[in-house]
Structure 1
């Protein structure tokens, strides 16, 4: 992916909370927090996402829900509705594919587009980005931010530059001018620990990294030091990977309070099995292996798996197999979390071809 490439990074703005506001317009302008029940500040679990109004109170994703409540007790706290978010995500991703010569979805709410063969310059790219933003707004009722750059990494940094509803264009000639003033935390992969080390080295901006001897960075960060240096100078590049191989589908649930009643756990396993089955059918897969995850109140965690004798897409096979594996843990204590998943996945049409080959069907 050279300097003549034109790459978009598209990131939905506060995706879960934006969808909730779309569903209930009366929430517009309010601090909305999507996650578990805060229970008056005593709830367990974390914030999945929140509106930009909630972020003004210091709330952010992955924050304990109890802390979010303390920061803004008047916020609107909503449960996670993954089925709805996945459906909106699929609609948006299908829309995005139609605009690009290369497409890579990297999460439920973000994707890369290679538009190198679609537009001839960055002015045309900006026009296309505005068209995409309008299309998403009119079709799905939410906003997104888009970064345009010669490679994926710079495009990702750019998409975060003017959120929400932003559009940032970084041409090949302006990469350093754009990157160098930014804080080092804007580099993907630079976390809190890395920031502390960099600060001790006198490095606070991306430009500081760009001007630092690579050997010094390698001494502190190993191979990551090379990557940091390349990103800082806008030369780090990776290809658009159009299709991610889905290796498993799983769902898990963290109980609001530890559960000792195995009947409650079994009911939860039934719900999780149904959710996994729904996604399995939507993605068009059959499975061969069922997986179980349990976590006790002391945070000890166990996983088990059973491989069936044949491929299946049967919901009850998921649930019954999960129950069989769960019987091993009954009476061992209170449960904090349970999860169900399926793996060894094969697309339905691929599975049919395998069967046809086996039976020599004309």
Structure 2
């Protein structure tokens, strides 16, 4: 979906149309959850602090999020997807992978099918969507960003080299800011530069991610569309109204976060072994620390004890603006699907 949260707000309130809006809190501690395209022209983007966003766009209008409304619209869109295929893998409220190799409309062209789905989304919800169509999820994901908003792009097998080789490395799905900087330091700026590296070189410099980078530089990605995709972790976090630096204050702030995580685990009827503490400092630097237990747990006291231990072991030279806790290595296993050769995927 195109600027989903912001577009829903503009749809529901016509007075906001064609105006720069940010969904999120406007306070000093606020964070932008989504920005309209009018706001993006000023450099406003999701996960940016509200203070910085307001400086970049003085006329920015802040809107309080309405997640119940976004979930309702997302469900409408999901129902449209299911009219075409049951192979739908949601990634979030506003994006999903669709495998349309065999589709309910018996349409031979994934490109035309994507166009029809986008038109139906517009008709049913009043919102625009963009799509990427290709031979695997990785390529479709990148393609989906090319003609936004309200567009689509198809990358056939014959197009892969022309598409990937000139592409800037930061545009590759799965290569974040830190990895981008490391690659640049190694002389890797484009897809062509990445493809020129040997598997041995990439393994040496990027560990177990080396093979992934080696493959995506060649347009290879074997992950299937999984309609039964299960969460890999359960977590919660809190950004504080004021930065915290005293250990007692931090421990007190940690407990309700852990309680929320335990409640979510118990609601989902799952347990996990790995407990991770996330810390965001006053300068916005983020670190994570983890401990893996020998057994599965959803016990609030055990999770708190572990997270508290991680917090105590971290030298706190700067004040903290956010704490988060997550539990992973869950005791759930996705049902393995039969491996299929999938000629086309759509990414919305």
Partner of 1:183: 168
Kept after mapping to 1: 8 A contact 2:164/2:217: yes
Deviation at 1:161, TM superposition (A): 1.2
- For 1:247 and 1:215, the matched residues in 2 are separated by 29
Aligned partner of 2:4 among 3, 11, 15: 15
1:25 aligns with 2:14: yes
Stretch moving more, 112-121 or 194-203: 112-121
Quick check: which has more Rg, 1 or 2? 1
RMSD value over aligned CA atoms? 4.4
Q: How high is the TM-score relative to the length of structure 2?
A: 0.70
Deviation at 1:215, TM superposition (A): 1.9
Query: CA 1:345–1:91 in structure 2 vs 1: closer, same or farther (change >3 Å)?
Result: farther
1:88 aligns with 2:73: yes
Query: CA 1:212–1:139 in structure 2 vs 1: closer, same or farther (change >3 Å)?
Result: same
Deviation at 1:214, TM superposition (A): 2.2
Partner of 2:94: 109
Query: CA 1:175–1:123 in structure 2 vs 1: closer, same or farther (change >3 Å)?
Result: farther
**Structure 1 residues not aligned, in runs of 5+:** 1-11, 260-264, 309-320, 326-334, 347-362
Kept after mapping to 2: 8 A contact 1:45/1:256: no
- For 1:74 and 1:224, the matched residues in 2 are separated by 42
- For 1:167 and 1:28, the matched residues in 2 are separated by 23
Kept after mapping to 1: 8 A contact 2:86/2:227: no
1:36 aligns with 2:25: yes
Partner of 1:197: 182
Deviation at 1:288, TM superposition (A): 9.0
1:274-328 Cα offsets, whole Å, 9 max, x none, are xx99x99xxxx77699xxx9x99999x9xxxx979xxxxxxxxxxxx99xx9xxx
1:127 aligns with 2:112: yes
User: After superposition, where does 1:213-252 map in structure 2 within 5 Å?
Assistant: 213-245=198-230
Aligned partner of 1:75 among 57, 60, 80: 60
Q: Which has the higher helix share?
A: 1
SS of the residue aligned with 1:22? Answer: helix
Aligned partner of 1:64 among 26, 29, 49: 49
- For 1:288 and 1:103, the matched residues in 2 are separated by 23
Query: CA 1:190–1:81 in structure 2 vs 1: closer, same or farther (change >3 Å)?
Result: same
Deviation at 1:202, TM superposition (A): 2.1
Partner of 1:351: none
Query: CA 1:339–1:194 in structure 2 vs 1: closer, same or farther (change >3 Å)?
Result: closer
Partner of 2:124: 139
Q: Which has the higher contact order (CA 8 A, sep 6+)?
A: 2
